[in-house]
Structure 1
């Protein structure tokens, strides 16, 4: 037990240090993160991601405690102190008609989650997870003959860049009102900064004043999640059919915006000089961001220590998103998730691979973006492994490494848009431990 505990502490410290450094810059490379609050990250651990993102009707998996933040009703099933920490990696290839594809890779800390049982059918959970990510950097060029400078043929560059993200610190509680009916809720604080710049440059024309507009939002506020699960048990409680529902309320959070316009030049060697004094530097009063209500519906069927299958359907009312009183112009989103896992023999003593959880899933996502009269859709297939480690000698501490991969595409090259081919990798370290035990001495 001690050696594994030390292992997890070392991993946590290393991950936290590297993750903090990684999160100081953009952790995604998608032009689609330019819109709204950036790419929204679902509150899922690698266990669920490997099964296509199913989570609404998930609680224990093979009698192993899992922290399912998407549906806080699941906390009521937790009977061991549970700790989960993870890493995230992303590789994106961007393609556009008539242009060479560009690839980028990113890495960060993905989550730190804890859960502690309070009673036989209730538990608390708290932690830190990403809420959204913004990261893009691209250029559009055209002859200045088309940009209001008829006497000059130098190329004009329009540069667009975004950086930052929002995080979600949460505290939740779930309880079983009966053996089969569980309810729960999260109180979350969403916070972070989003910075976007757009520049207009004529880099080959020496001495010309180029301009840059920087808009930033400092965001912070409370959000609430509610959930419920109802299960039906069969065959001596070894088989379970679970129905689940959860919602993220569409309340408002605070935002403080700034707007800065500056001018700068390039020297004769093509290097950018220090920007001159800001032409405009405006700090706005606090405004509100009206978040959308997001509804999750799920169903799962599990045969303990053998297999689990399930499906989720999510509706996001993104047409209600407003930033500073202005509607973001999004459409409502729809997401379908289907997946499951299979464990050949969870009790095998001499065959390690028979105790491994093998996961598979599929995702179809009609996102909230419609650009150039074209829906931006996402398709993906997911894979995952649950790799158990040897438990403690007292059989009160259990460890597992969860690995998942999502291979998919988003967008299209039609109508002047960009197609993304991506691979997302999630690695999680999970600990189940029996704390606060009362020992009896004879």
Structure 2
């Protein structure tokens, strides 16, 4: 058991070591950043669906997954559900394209750390994962004035989510559950205004506005799952989750600085003035988080194959950030649709390792809810995944999961940015038994 904890710890340290910035998307400029995917590497390999639930893998999409029966095909002989650990990280390579050029960007991020513990008819889970991410560097170029730079924008930060989950086995077919999530973190952004003389030459002095918001708040996610036999071989799965509308508390700071800009573009602060936000009731504000409804359905054969779909709707039109808003952006209700599944040739094969690999694939289509320059920002992705079993086959079901996703976000219409991204994620999923009944004392 200690060896497994060491492996998980090494994986966590490795993920945090590379998690310098969670995104390079210019669309993280808006709202509180780009929303991060809540789900495991297994979910991502199947297009992001959460409609498949079993007793051997953590499913972060639905808290009802923490409770459930053992599978007849599991390696524990039906004696007890396993304790499960999972940790994951992602490397992303993104090409940012506009009508005038393109740039490359890369990021490495920590995805999640999660633990699931069986408690009789109950099941509990806890962990940590990113909720949103901010990371951008933008320039406002004035084409009418020889493409001079009028403003430069930079941002970083994001929100994290610590969660505690509880599931309950209602009967042999139905489970229910709830997530309690504590969201915390900060977003920081700055805007530098450049000044030019009558001849169009840049003036040495410039002005920079710095904003910081420290955010925190609770929200809940309620889930249910049904799994039942259609016939001797086929099994039907149906899932539903709902997150009610909630709010975040935001403590805000703003300052204005005078800068000297060197010939190399470096910024040197000369003096800084703190802005009195309390005078405008902006020192402490609240942000509304939208409600979210997800419905999933799928069919498959136990430990053999599965295909499913999931639809998600969010009322993101209610979102508003009073401390940091723009005139060219707004929010509309968001929605997404995903389809995917897996195929496992023969999980009991002793002679052929390839037959014990789980092969996953899926696709997703999403309206993010963000509208910029009257253009809805949409996203799609195509994903593939492999579940590589590790450890003694007779004792535990543990995997190294590899996932690949190619996708596109945004558009080049209305002078916007189109992102073409390639995500590679790796996770370690380890199972063990803490509550095994002794046969001999």
Deviations 1:37-68 (Å, cap 9, x if unpaired)? 1111121100010000110x2211xxx51211
Aligned to 2:236: 241
| Maintained 8 Å contact 1:18/1:108 | no
State the alpha-carbon separation in 2 of the partners of residues 230 and 242 from structure 1: 6
- Counterpart selection for 1:317 from 315, 318, 324: 315
State the alpha-carbon separation in 1 of the partners of residues 27 and 312 from structure 2: 20
- Return the offset for 1:397: 2.8
State the alpha-carbon separation in 2 of the partners of residues 170 and 296 from structure 1: 19
- Counterpart selection for 1:306 from 301, 304, 307: 304
- Return the offset for 1:279: 3.1
| Maintained 8 Å contact 1:206/1:266 | no
State the alpha-carbon separation in 1 of the partners of residues 159 and 265 from structure 2: 33
State the alpha-carbon separation in 2 of the partners of residues 17 and 222 from structure 1: 27
- Return the offset for 1:427: 0.8
Aligned to 1:198: 191
- Return the offset for 1:307: 0.2
Matching of residues 278-293 of structure 1 within 5 Å: 278-282=272-276, 284-293=282-291
- Counterpart selection for 2:163 from 136, 147, 170: 170
Secondary structure in 1 matching 2:99: coil
| Maintained 8 Å contact 1:155/1:202 | no
| Residues 304 and 215 of structure 1: CA distance in aligned 2, closer, same or farther (over 3 Å) | same
State the alpha-carbon separation in 2 of the partners of residues 181 and 344 from structure 1: 28
Structure 2 residue runs of 5 or longer lacking an equivalent are 70-80
Aligned to 1:150: none
Secondary structure in 2 matching 1:32: helix
| Residues 273 and 333 of structure 1: CA distance in aligned 2, closer, same or farther (over 3 Å) | closer
State the alpha-carbon separation in 1 of the partners of residues 210 and 342 from structure 2: 47
Aligned to 2:181: 188
Secondary structure in 1 matching 2:268: coil
Matched, 1:295 2:293: yes
Aligned to 1:49: 44
State the alpha-carbon separation in 2 of the partners of residues 249 and 273 from structure 1: 44
Deviations 1:94-120 (Å, cap 9, x if unpaired)? 001122x1111111221100000000x
Matching of residues 363-378 of structure 1 within 5 Å: 363-378=364-379
- Return the offset for 1:286: 2.4
Aligned to 2:172: 179
Aligned to 1:89: 91
Q: CA RMSD in A?
A: 2.3
| Maintained 8 Å contact 2:21/2:109 | no
State the alpha-carbon separation in 2 of the partners of residues 278 and 126 from structure 1: 43
| Maintained 8 Å contact 1:378/1:409 | yes
- Return the offset for 1:273: 4.9
| Maintained 8 Å contact 1:247/1:296 | yes
| Residues 207 and 374 of structure 1: CA distance in aligned 2, closer, same or farther (over 3 Å) | closer
Aligned to 1:67: 58
State the alpha-carbon separation in 1 of the partners of residues 147 and 317 from structure 2: 41
- Counterpart selection for 1:39 from 23, 28, 34: 34
State the alpha-carbon separation in 2 of the partners of residues 419 and 111 from structure 1: 27
Aligned to 2:110: 109
Matched, 1:217 2:225: no
Give the TM-score taking structure 1 as reference length: 0.89
State the alpha-carbon separation in 2 of the partners of residues 321 and 154 from structure 1: 34
State the alpha-carbon separation in 1 of the partners of residues 135 and 248 from structure 2: 22
| Residues 49 and 271 of structure 1: CA distance in aligned 2, closer, same or farther (over 3 Å) | closer
Aligned to 1:122: 122
Structure 1 residue runs of 5 or longer lacking an equivalent are 147-152
| Residues 206 and 376 of structure 1: CA distance in aligned 2, closer, same or farther (over 3 Å) | closer
State the alpha-carbon separation in 2 of the partners of residues 345 and 254 from structure 1: 50
State the alpha-carbon separation in 2 of the partners of residues 270 and 355 from structure 1: 57
| Maintained 8 Å contact 1:58/1:74 | no
Secondary structure in 1 matching 2:397: strand
Instruction: Say which is worse superposed, 285-294 or 319-328, in terms of deviation.
Output: 319-328
- Return the offset for 1:174: 0.5
State the alpha-carbon separation in 1 of the partners of residues 7 and 97 from structure 2: 36
Give the TM-score taking structure 2 as reference length: 0.89
- Return the offset for 1:90: 0.8
- Return the offset for 1:205: 4.9
| Maintained 8 Å contact 1:15/1:109 | no
